[in-house]
């Protein structure tokens, strides 16, 4: 069929009626958004001459993605989660907010309610024989003042690239902790070096990426929410330097400011001091938070999370 079969104003009139714009009831914001998305979709169908087969294949794709709970994975995979970050960055810039540690995507694998402790924690349960990782740093105000009692909510994958809760082979809250900063605003934890995540083979997400000639891998990374009263919530990650996918993340989460140096400690005395018997890795990373300001775009995002069992 040829493209552009339908006049633009016919399409926009259909979208307006379908979105209930001629009705007094309903949610005005929802109607506005549905109207726009429907009009844009119909214009795309008409311009690209999307066939009925293509259209219904798309619907079947989304139906299956919903059944498999994959929207949280497709969204970062098609850059939309990173795009939302770019918008928030720019909105903050225009609001004149001081920039602390840069944000990056949350991803779909956070579980709330991880065990909380003061100053330090061990994240791994000792069952994964990965490289030992010590990570530590300070949470500070953008002015450099340490923030006492900030909460560093940290989560990461194991050496297989899998996350507890979503991976039935791991204990509840393995590699997930909340650490309250000590009287100097410091946090520290012992864990294992994560491996990068790969989209589940055969998943709807992987199928889409493959059909676009892309892969579904993320570089190894560690996620953080950093919060403190009167400060803006920080959602971020660090990436593990040297990873093959460091600058080729399917989820577009890597940012240059979030690649700390990984120190490899091989000195016997240092190894012994920490009660270890093999070399380990150390990462030093400080977080800087911006004060909350009335009227600034929110950094606390209402988002459905899987519940811990």
Handedness of CA 266, 267, 271, 277 (dihedral sign): positive
Convert residues 175-194 into a mask of x (bound to Fe ion by CB under 5 A) and - (unbound): --------------------
CB 138, min distance to ligand MBD, A: 24
Distances (CA, A) of 40 to 11, 36, 268: 9, 6, 63
Q: Are 108 and 257 in contact (CB under 8 A)?
A: no
**Cβ proximity to ligand MBD, 140 vs 165, nearer residue:** 165
Partner interacting with residue 110 (select from ligand MBD, Fe ion, none; CB below 5-8 Å by kind): none
Instruction: Tell me how far, at minimum, the Cβ of 237 lies from ligand MBD, in Å.
Output: 7
Q: What is the number of the residue whose Cβ is closest to Fe ion?
A: 107
Letters for 102-141 (x = contact with Fe ion by CB under 5 A, - = none) are -----x----------------------------------
Q: Which is nearer to Fe ion, 197 or 231 (CB)?
A: 197
List of E strands, 142-204: 151-156, 176-180, 186-192
Residue range at the interface with Fe ion (CB under 5 A); choices 27-35, 100-108, 132-140, 224-232: 100-108
Closer to Fe ion by Cβ: residue 72 or 107? 107
Residue 196: CB minimum distance to ligand MBD, A: 8
231-234: list long-range contacts, CB under 8 Å, 24+ apart.
231/141, 231/147, 231/150, 231/289, 231/290, 231/291, 231/292, 232/97, 232/100, 232/289, 232/290, 232/291, 232/292, 232/296, 232/299, 233/299, 233/300, 234/100, 234/101, 234/103, 234/287, 234/289, 234/299
Binding partner of 152, given ligand MBD, Fe ion, none, CB within 5-8 angstroms per partner class: none
Question: How many CB atoms within 10 Å of residue 162?
Answer: 22
Q: Report the alpha-carbon distance of residue 226 to residue 224 in Å, rounded.
A: 6
Q: Which residues on neighbouring strands pair with residue 118, listed in sequence order? A: 180
Closest residue to bound ligand MBD by CB: 107
Interface ranges with ligand MBD (CB under 6 A): 73, 76, 105, 107-109, 197, 218, 251, 253
CB-neighbour burial class of residue 200 (10 A; exposed 0-12, middle 13-18, buried 19+): middle
The interface partner of residue 196, options being ligand MBD, Fe ion, none and the CB cut-off 5 to 8 Å by kind, is none
- At residue 39, what are phi and psi to the nearest 5 degrees? -60, -45
- For residue 198, count other CB atoms closer than 10 A to its CB: 18
Measured from the CB atom, the residue of 107 and 185 that comes closer to Fe ion is 107
The entry of ligand MBD, Fe ion, none near residue 39 (CB within 5 to 8 angstroms by kind) is none
Taking CB under 5 A as the binding criterion, the range among 46-54, 99-107, 200-208, 275-283 that sits at the site for Fe ion is: 99-107
Cα gap 129→194, rounded to integer Å: 11
Rank residues 107 and 216 by Cβ distance to Fe ion and give the closer one: 107
Q: Rounded to the nearest whole angstrom, what is the least distance from the CB of residue 144 to Fe ion in the complex?
A: 30
Query: Least CB distance from residue 73 to ligand MBD, whole Å?
Result: 5
Q: Which is nearer to ligand MBD, 82 or 140 (CB)?
A: 82
Q: What angle do CA 129, 242, 121 make, to 5 degrees?
A: 45
Q: Which does 76 bind (CB under 5 to 8 A by kind): ligand MBD, Fe ion, none?
A: ligand MBD
What residues make contact with Fe ion under the rule CB under 5 A? 107
């Amino acid at each position: 069929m040829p493209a552009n079969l339908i006049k633009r104003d016919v399409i926009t009139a259909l979208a307006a009626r379908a979105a209930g714009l001629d009705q007094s009831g309903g949610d005005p914001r929802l109607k506005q958004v549905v109207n726009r998305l429907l009009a844009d979709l119909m214009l795309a169908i008409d311009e690209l001459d999307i066939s009925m087969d293509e259209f219904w294949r798309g619907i079947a794709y989304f139906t299956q993605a919903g059944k498999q709970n994959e929207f949280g994975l497709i969204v970062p995979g098609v850059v939309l989660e990173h795009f939302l970050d770019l918008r928030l960055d720019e909105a903050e810039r225009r609001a004149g907010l001081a920039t602390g540690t840069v944000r990056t995507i949350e991803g779909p694998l956070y579980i709330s309610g991880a065990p909380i402790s003061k100053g330090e924690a061990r994240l791994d349960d000792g069952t994964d024989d990965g490289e030992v990782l010590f990570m530590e740093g300070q949470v500070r105000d953008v002015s450099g003042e340490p923030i006492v009692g900030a909460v560093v909510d940290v989560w990461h994958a194991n050496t297989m690239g899998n996350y507890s809760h979503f991976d039935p082979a791991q204990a509840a809250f393995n590699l997930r902790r909340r650490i309250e900063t000590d009287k100097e605003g410091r946090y520290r934890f012992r864990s294992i070096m994560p491996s990068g995540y790969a989209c589940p083979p055969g998943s709807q997400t992987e199928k889409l990426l493959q059909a676009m000639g892309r892969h579904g891998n993320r570089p190894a990374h560690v996620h953080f929410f950093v919060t403190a009263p009167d400060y803006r919530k920080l959602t971020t990650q660090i990436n593990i330097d040297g990873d093959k996918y460091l600058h080729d993340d399917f989820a577009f989460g890597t940012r240059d400011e979030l690649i700390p140096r990984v120190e490899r400690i091989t000195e016997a005395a240092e190894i012994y001091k920490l009660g270890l018997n093999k070399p380990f890795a150390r990462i030093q990373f400080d977080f800087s938070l911006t004060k909350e300001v009335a009227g600034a775009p929110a950094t606390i995002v209402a988002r459905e999370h899987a519940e811990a069992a």
